[in-house]
């Protein structure tokens, strides 16, 4: 039962009485212990942390011993050997003959990489580009890289493009971490069609057995109001309207983005802030007809007066 230097830390105790107890990770000792019986499940774990807190390239080169922490967003997880510049350990330039040999080694090192490695490198380069376009936190990108690696292991890449799979993985990671990004946002950032993204997302959810909770509608209120530079009073009133709608149970089955846009529109009307339905429609990505219908339903249910 005891494992050494295991990279798979999703281990469980084999005793039936310990199924309900979680595994406890002891980072100082490098062990994973069962929370029920106390047996050691994994020992001699590798330390993937990074000990240096330098913020400049110079401090990184001078003070670090272990290098940066491993990351799933790198095709090699940051563990491969890189042939550096044409200088030796003392900083002196290499002789011409040695420099030529190292250039050839660098070329053949690039050519000898497997197809899977090259594919992962291209996919994660695209993922980092989408992260910059959408302003997504680093932990969400890590989750997206983990989901994409699971999709590749499950051989879901056959018959599907790399763009659509990495975009679907990113949307699933946003849903898991409650980061308000719509399918249209992901499709535009990945330069793919929305229907293809939806199709591959359904495949990933089904094959990988993911459980994605619906978005919190209030997060879209914050996103839309910040993009339109609305007043804080307008934002708070929109939260109140949304809370009352949830109490009246008229938000079930409705698009959360449309519900948030309608709440913001009514809040703008109450606070005399001039924002048109077309402007809200452009910013939120839902049609003006949807905002108008949701607003009419909210006004009728909550007895709001212009």
Are 201 and 120 in a shared domain? yes
Task: Please state the domain count of the chain.
Answer: 3
In a domain, 251, yes or no: yes
In a domain, 292, yes or no: yes
8 Å CB contact between 42 and 3: yes
Nearest to 130 by CA among 115, 149, 144: 144
Pick from 179, 208, 237: which residue ends a domain?
A: 208
Cα separation, 134 vs 107, in Å, equals 35
Mean pLDDT calculated for residue range 136-164: 90
Q: What pLDDT is recorded for position 172?
A: 93
Are 198 and 245 in a shared domain? no
- Tell me the whole-structure pTM to 2 decimals: 0.67
In a domain, 298, yes or no: yes
* Domain span including residue 227: 217-302
In a domain, 283, yes or no: yes
Please, which residues have CB within 8 angstroms of residue 236's CB and are 6 or more apart in sequence? none
User: Quick check: 2 pLDDT over 90?
Assistant: no
pLDDT: which is higher, 47 or 226? 226
Are 232 and 290 in a shared domain? yes
In a domain, 72, yes or no: no
Give the tens place of pLDDT for each residue, 242-285. 898 888 888 887 888 888 899 999 999 888 888 888 888 888 88
């Amino acid at each position: 039962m005891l494992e050494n230097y295991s990279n798979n830390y999703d281990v469980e105790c084999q005793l039936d009485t310990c199924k309900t107890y979680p595994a406890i990770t002891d980072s100082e000792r490098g062990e994973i212990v069962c929370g029920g019986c106390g047996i050691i499940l994994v020992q001699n774990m590798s330390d993937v942390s990074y000990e240096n807190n330098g913020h400049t390239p110079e401090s990184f080169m001078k003070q670090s011993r272990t290098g940066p922490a491993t990351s799933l967003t790198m095709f090699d997880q940051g563990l491969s050997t890189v042939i550096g510049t044409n200088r030796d350990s003392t900083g002196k330039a290499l002789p011409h003959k040695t420099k030529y040999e190292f250039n050839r080694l660098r070329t053949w090192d690039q050519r000898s990489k497997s197809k899977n490695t090259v594919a992962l490198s291209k996919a994660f380069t695209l993922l980092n580009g989408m992260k910059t376009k959408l302003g997504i936190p680093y932990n969400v990108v890590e989750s997206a890289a983990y989901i994409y690696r699971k999709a590749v292991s499950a051989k879901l890449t056959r018959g599907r493009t790399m763009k659509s799979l990495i975009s679907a993985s990113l949307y699933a990671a946003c849903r898991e971490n409650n980061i308000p990004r719509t399918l249209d946002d992901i499709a535009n950032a990945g330069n793919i069609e929305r229907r293809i993204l939806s199709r591959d997302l359904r495949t990933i959810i089904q094959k990988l057995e993911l459980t994605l909770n619906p978005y919190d509608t209030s997060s879209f209120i914050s996103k839309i109001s910040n993009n339109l530079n609305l007043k804080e009073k307008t934002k708070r009133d929109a939260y109140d309207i949304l809370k009352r709608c949830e109490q009246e149970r008229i938000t079930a089955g409705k698009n959360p983005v449309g519900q948030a846009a309608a709440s913001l529109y009514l809040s703008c009307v109450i606070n005399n802030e001039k924002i048109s339905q077309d402007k809200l429609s452009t910013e939120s990505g839902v049609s003006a007809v949807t905002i108008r219908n949701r607003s009419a339903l909210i006004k009728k249910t909550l007895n709001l007066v212009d």
